[in-house]
Chain A
Amino acid sequence: MPVNRPRFVTGRILRNEGRGEIFYRIEAAIPEPLRFVPGQFAMVSGWPGNDPLLPRPLAVFRSGGRRGEGKIEFVYKVVGRGTALLSGLHPGEPLSITIPLGRGFDLGQAGRTYWLLGGGVGFSSVFPAAAVLSRRRTGYEMFLGARTREHLPPKQWTPGGKTPGRTHFCTEDGTAGYHGRVTDAAMERMCALSPEAASRLTILACGPRDMLKEIAVEALQRGASVQVALENHMACGFGVCWGCVVTLWDGDRTAYRRVCREGPVFDAKEVVW
């Protein structure tokens, strides 16, 4: 039975390969299949020794397998020492994983049109949402942005399905797709919509904070609903260290909320940008 209570498992690496210019994809065998909500994440480690000490938060990219034989996949970018060490792990080696964590995207709103925005490695968080929408035959559009062509997600990872969504690739240097940032592409399209159509939009976004802030401010102004997946440094990932807080609106006051527990997906209206 797939389980969705958080658990700590030792997986066994099946593959860990660099793809494209900067992305890695790691797959591990775990004792049982995992049921997760797109946007939920895991705390992952596997390198020997105490340095770095803490696991790394990675969005769950895919899960599968059958009873007694689960599989889980993550996509990551090497950004520091922890992810560099992670990229050096080999098939057969153990991987420590705490899963599933946090609150994912809300895909349950009826009568909505979904737009999915991924900036940089942020696609790893929105692709699972695209897969769910495809299975439900709910139409969506996806906007994927990177600095340059080589930093876009590899084409073969981009979800299709029975009701494939339209995917817009964007590069800041114009080497592929739309010449500009992912927010520019999305806003250009949104401006072409009637106010009524814009108000039926639900935007799911993951990427750099500046990107999230911009899309939140502009899309909220046009009446769309926006869910953002935030990132932060985390020690535990399951709500006990209180290290990963962000500032949210709490009525007309502000409060610190944990990205790992109350998030990582927040209603953009609640975030103090």
Chain B
Amino acid sequence: MTPDLSVSLGGLRVKNPVMSASGTFGYGIEFTPFYDISRLGAVIVKGLSLEPTAGNPPGRIVETPAGMLNAIGLQNIGVERFIGDVVPRLEDFGATFVANIYGKTEEEYEAVARRLSVVPSLGAIEVNASCPNVREGGMAFGATPEGIAGLTARVRRCTGKPLWVKLSPNVTDIACIAKAAEEAGADAVSLINTIVGMAVNHRTRRPELSNVTGGLSGPAIKPVALRMTWEAAKAVSIPVIGIGGIQSSANALEFLLVGASAVQVGTANFRNPRACIDILEGMEAFFREEKIASLADYRGGLKVENTP
């Protein structure tokens, strides 16, 4: 028996719930030497802006216990080159792909969304309302329910594509933020982006990152991500996509158990370029062993009563 792992993510039906997280998977093509990327539920490409973006000066990453801080600053090739050079290749590889978008202003988000909406093969648009490493845009929009609602509503009006909104964990009440995105027209929410952090050198007396602060990712953030996914899933009726520190199929299943419809795998791709596919295969094996017929039979099945 082959378990049915397919799931609908706000209008985009994917064959399984394992996807790559934006910013950790390049434009997807980089992984084709390692495996067939069409096997993934979807590839979410690095955040795209209207114009090519140079990113932050060197001193962009530093390792921290069971994790890493990054302050890349959304270096990317821009939406035009993505459509011209990358999209045809993703189509050739047969990948289901989603564009993560970012702007310094709401108008820029709208322009990128409008431009991408005419790409027939694009599966969905994921609005990055949560990057902690740029001065304007990004997290500035994702920090309040009003900010997220305003941005979501404006992008919603520009696109008929499934609209996902990627949320920041750097907020007081994630349920409230997720709800604001839902009410403003999001078809799904994905969370979490990185947690703002900092590392300094006590001898040189300098920060480790040129940007001083950066975004924490990796296994270190998984408990926070799991809690926020659980809270968001209880608060909204649109699909929730869980992200944060997933390293194994067991980790991915934990997110599904607390209510996520799908997951994105991020930093694990750096350590093992085959991480997504290993997680997918592990998940399939789990469903077979446990004789679970479909994802829907497992998802959200957390038993909280009589918990010691």
Partners in one complex: yes
Q: Which residues of A contact B (CB under 8 A)?
A: 5-8, 45, 50-55, 96, 98, 232-247, 255-256
Cβ-defined contact, B34 with A8, below 8 A: yes
Cβ-defined contact, A53 with B63, below 8 A: yes
Cβ-defined contact, B33 with A240, below 8 A: no
Q: Could you tell me the distance in whole angstroms from the C-beta of B72 to the nearest C-beta in chain A?
A: 5
**What are 20 A-B residue pairs whose CB atoms fall within 8 Å in the complex?**
A6-B273, A8-B274, A50-B66, A50-B218, A50-B219, A54-B270, A233-B61, A236-B24, A236-B270, A238-B273, A239-B30, A240-B24, A240-B31, A240-B270, A242-B55, A243-B70, A243-B72, A244-B60, A245-B55, A256-B57
Chain B contacts with A in 268-289, Cβ cutoff 8 A: 269-274
- CA–CA, A117 and B71, complex, Å: 33
B67 at the interface (CB under 8 A from A): yes
Given A50-B218, A233-B63, A8 contacting B273 (CB threshold 8 A): yes
Least CB separation from A49: chain B residue: B66
Given A8-B274, A54-B271, A232-B58, A242 contacting B75 (CB threshold 8 A): yes
Q: Could you tell me the distance in whole angstroms from the C-beta of A177 to the nearest C-beta in chain B?
A: 32
- CA–CA, A53 and B219, complex, Å: 8
Q: A6-B33, A50-B247, A256-B58 known; 20 other A-B pairs, CB under 8 Å?
A: A6-B273, A7-B33, A7-B34, A8-B34, A45-B271, A52-B63, A53-B219, A54-B63, A96-B271, A98-B273, A232-B58, A236-B270, A237-B270, A241-B23, A241-B61, A242-B60, A243-B60, A243-B70, A245-B60, A246-B58
Q: Which residues of B contact A (CB under 8 A)?
A: 23-26, 30-31, 33-34, 46, 54-55, 57-58, 60-63, 65-68, 70, 72, 75, 218-219, 247, 267, 269-274
- CA–CA, A96 and B272, complex, Å: 8
- CA–CA, A237 and B271, complex, Å: 9
Q: Which of A233, A240, A243 contacts B25 (CB 8 A)?
A: A240
Least CB separation from A53: chain B residue: B218
- CA–CA, A237 and B247, complex, Å: 18
User: Interface on chain B toward A: helix, strand, loop, or mixed SS?
Assistant: loop
- CA–CA, A7 and B31, complex, Å: 10
Q: How many A-B residue pairs have CB under 8 A?
A: 91
Cβ-defined contact, A235 with B26, below 8 A: no
Cβ-defined contact, B33 with A5, below 8 A: yes
Least CB separation from B28: chain A residue: A240
Q: Which residues of B contact A233 (CB under 8 A)?
A: 61-63
Q: Could you tell me the distance in whole angstroms from the C-beta of B272 to the nearest C-beta in chain A?
A: 6
Q: Which residues of B contact A7 (CB under 8 A)?
A: 33-34
Q: Which residues of A contact B55 (CB under 8 A)?
A: 242, 245, 256
Cβ-defined contact, A256 with B75, below 8 A: yes
Which of B58, B66, B270 has most chain A Cβ within 10 Å?
Answer: B270
Q: Could you tell me the distance in whole angstroms from the C-beta of B273 to the nearest C-beta in chain A?
A: 5
Q: Which residues of B contact A235 (CB under 8 A)?
A: 61, 68, 70, 267, 270
Q: Which residues of A contact B267 (CB under 8 A)?
A: 53, 235
Cβ-defined contact, A241 with B66, below 8 A: no
Least CB separation from B218: chain A residue: A53
Q: Which residues of B contact A242 (CB under 8 A)?
A: 46, 55, 60, 72, 75
